[in-house]
Structure 1
Amino acid sequence: MADALLWLSFGGPEGPADVRPFLENVTRGRGVPAARLDEVEKHYQHFGGVSPINELNRSAIAAVESALAAAGLDLPIYFGNRNWHPMVEDTVATMRDDGIRRALVFPTSAYGGYSACRQYHEDISRARDAVEGAPDLVKLRQFFDHPLFVAAFADAVRAVAPVGDYRLVFTAHSVPDSADLAAGPVSFGGRLYSRQVAEASRLVAESVGAAEYDVVWQSRSGPPQVPWLEPDIVDHVEALHGAGVRSVVVCPIGFVSDHLEVVWDLDTEAREKAEELGMGFARAATPNGDARFAELVVELVREHLQGETAEKLSDFPVLGCAANGALCAVACCEPPKRPSRG
């Protein structure tokens, strides 16, 4: 049973004055140099200090509200963020005051790993600790291999693919290599995040008939001495040009919406590099504007409330579902170790 749905996301600034405190929230305790924050702040200010992510979330929430009503599911949706307003702690307090006793939680990340999954469990646990009498909160599962997720991306690739030859390149947010190595249940062998990204990419590539494709990374933000997943998308575009590739289609498989990492790292930096090299460049849309994304959320809810079988296209185990911030597996997705300052 559940009497609400909590939409839990990353958050983003909604004005120039929000940018620096937002970035400080995101990077607190991570040892990110101030110069890197200065650089990223310029990216946000390039768009007037406003990230698209909150408005995209509100639009997606409205679509899910309609889809839930059409399915006969009476679940109000509450919106909370990890790093910027509305903060999840405030949202959970509002839920308590409204009499919500038990809610499902939809995280705006399809994958496993520390940042993509375990940190959402930590958000839930932190919010419940901060709010006396908080409702029970049950996080929905990872959905990287859900048929609707794959179909939305496949159609997005088809919509922008040029006539003739092109190279299909999938991209997701890079993470520290040590964090990826520690991602997943011990029995799974680690690298849950990168393996899931690779599997989602394979499923989309198979759907569009792309025999050859690449999986690359973007948006790294850590200290330069810490290894992160590579290659970077901009470096890869340059490498493809050197190999004679004339046109590239980029699919941001790691993202559910067109937030700043997509519109800056891909639509700005990667596109400018391709244009500089005389290459064709197209970027597939992310799925949260697709009606199937709302349908996907409803199907995840039904799995819980009505015991429906999990719809999935891979052999990966169903992970990521737990109550009140508890982990879904022992020693799953350990936080990345911080670099020593000694």
Structure 2
Amino acid sequence: MTFGSAVTSDDVPAYLSSVRGGREVPENVLTEFRRRYDVIGRSPLIDITLEQARALQALLDAESGTGSFVVRAGMLHSAPTIPAAIQELVTTGATSIVAIVLAPQYSPIILAGYERAMDAARTAHPSLDMHVSGAWYSLPEWIESLSARLVATLEELPTGASDTPVIFTAHSLPRAVVERDPAYIEQLRETATAVAARASLPPARWQFAYQSAGHTPEPWLTPDVKDLLPGLRDRGVRTVVVAPVQFLADHLEVLFDIDVAAVDEARELGIDMRRVHMPNAAPDLIRALAAVVRRTMPSPAVGSR
């Protein structure tokens, strides 16, 4: 399960209306998001999520035999939707479902949309045995996947850039939302700490920041990644690496918010910003998702066969 996305600027009105629960979207917000999608051309998120599902299906088939698992992708705000995916699984004869949220850090309060989707599924299919993966940010396979990509990015830097600073990022949230479950922020920071340790980064070499704050009047979590750039410039930094700890795939928040908006601002300050590649459907991420499936499945009852 994932949040979903508009694919092109033509899809923006329907997508944002869904995100806002059917409420009217201000024209200035529509205009800005259409512009962003026009800049990146199209968002590959839905295609990547479907590819992740196919790759996970292939791996589970290889591990457990064809027919043991059926994998489908569902989105909160795009097609194929979560209800449609669950209905398709029911049609195949599924009696037990493992639902993986494609966000390693999890809070049933902050990510309540997934909880509502699963509650609706339980109501529609009361005989189904459903299990939601919950948080899997500390899974060794996930930490290894992120750290390997970070190390690869650092190794691509010019000779002499061994002290290049790293900024780990996560999607910002309204402060009022986070106050309902502060532990969610600790999950994000713990992910950054674990990845930094696995990549042998000393604490002085990395920072944690937010990105992609929303277009709403309430206060959002700070600092934004762009807020850190002037301080880096003043320290004489000329190259910085950005590593999102929350995203599994390329989408607007990566392709525009980092690759365009943040990169442009860094360039104006004389800083070359590099971004760690997203896992997308790479084999190491798919192995991590398979581990999440195994971990989430209910244990057989004692004496059962």
> What TM-score does the superposition give when structure 2 sets the normalisation length?
0.87
Residue 151 in 1 paired to residue 144 in 2? yes
Partner of residue 59 from structure 1, selected from 51, 55, 58: 51
Separation (CA, whole Å) in 1 of partners of 2:256 and 2:270: 20
User: What's the CA shift string for 1:243-282, capped at 9, x where partnerless?
Assistant: 3322111001121111111111111111111222221221
Superposed counterparts of 1:150-189, under 5 Å: 150-161=143-154, 162=157, 163-183=161-181
Instruction: Name the structure 2 match of 1:142.
Output: 135
The answer to whether 1:201 aligns with 2:192 is yes
Give the one of 86, 96, 100 matched to 2:94. 100
In structure 1, how many angstroms separate the alpha carbons of the residues matched to 2:268 and 2:232? 13
Quote the offset at 1:238 in angstroms: 2.9
Alignment of 1:32-47 (within 5 A): 33-47=26-40
Measure how far apart 1:91 and its partner are: 2.1
Decide whether the 8 Å contact of 1:253 with 1:286 is kept in 2.
no
Q: Structure 1: how far apart are the matches of 2:194 and 2:118? A: 31
Aligned residue in 2 for 1:260: 252
Query: Given the alignment, which residue of 223, 230, 235 partners 1:238?
Result: 230
SS in 1 for 2:280: helix
Aligned to 1:327: none
Distance 1:42 1:179 in 2: 28
Question: Aligned-residue CA RMSD in angstroms?
Answer: 2.3
CA shift, 1:30, in A, is 7.8
Say whether residues 1:221 and 2:214 are aligned partners: yes
Structure 1 residue 154: Cα displacement: 0.8
User: 2 CA distance for matches of 1:255 and 1:80?
Assistant: 17
Any idea what the Cα deviations from partners look like across 1:218-242, whole Å, max 9, x if unmatched? 1111422x11110111222233213
Q: Say whether the 8 Å CA contact 1:180–1:194 is kept in structure 2.
A: yes
Report the counterpart of residue 11 of structure 2 in structure 1. 18
Q: Mind listing any 5+ residue stretches in structure 2 that lack a counterpart?
A: 301-305
CA displacement 1:90-116 (0-9 Å, x = unmatched): 222222333222211011111123576
The answer to whether the 8 Å contact 2:102/2:248 transfers is: yes
Once residues 297 and 118 of structure 2 are traced to their aligned partners in structure 1, the CA distance between those partners, rounded to angstroms, is 20
* DSSP-derived class of the 1:282 partner: strand
Does the aligned pair in 1 maintain the 2:242–2:274 contact within 8 Å? yes
**Residue deviations 1:278-308 (CA, integer Å, cap 9, x gap):** 2122111223333121111211222244749
Aligned pair in 2 of structure 1 residues 288, 272: CA closer, same or farther (>3 Å)?
same
Matching residue within 2, 6, 12 for 1:9:
2
Q: Secondary structure at the match of 2:72?
A: strand
Contact 2:98 2:297 in 1 (8 A): no
Q: Identical aligned pairs, as a percentage?
A: 26
Q: 1:9 to 1:192 in 2, by over 3 A?
A: same
Q: Distance in 2 between matches of 1:201 and 1:40?
A: 29
The higher-RCO structure (CA 8 Å, 6+ apart) is 1
Alpha-carbon distance change, 44 to 126 in structure 1, aligned in 2, over 3 angstroms: farther
Secondary structure of 2:241's partner? Answer: strand
Residue 192 of structure 2 contacts residue 245 of structure 2 at CA under 8 Å; is this kept in 1?
Answer: yes
| Runs of 4 or more consecutive aligned structure 1 residues displaced over 6 Å after TM superposition | 29-32
What TM-score does the superposition give when structure 1 sets the normalisation length?
A: 0.78
CA contact (8 A) 1:92 1:128 kept: no
Change (3 A) 1:306 1:135: closer
- For residue 14 of structure 1, report the CA deviation from its aligned partner: 3.0
Q: CA shift at 1:134, angstroms?
A: 7.0
TM superposition shift of 1:160 = 1.2
What is the distance in 2 between the residues matched to 1:102 and 1:209? 41
Does the aligned pair in 1 maintain the 2:60–2:69 contact within 8 Å? yes
Structure 2 distance, partners of 1:272, 1:170, is 18
Unaligned runs of 5+ in 1: 1-7, 184-190, 309-342
Cα deviation for residue 27 of structure 1 reads 2.3
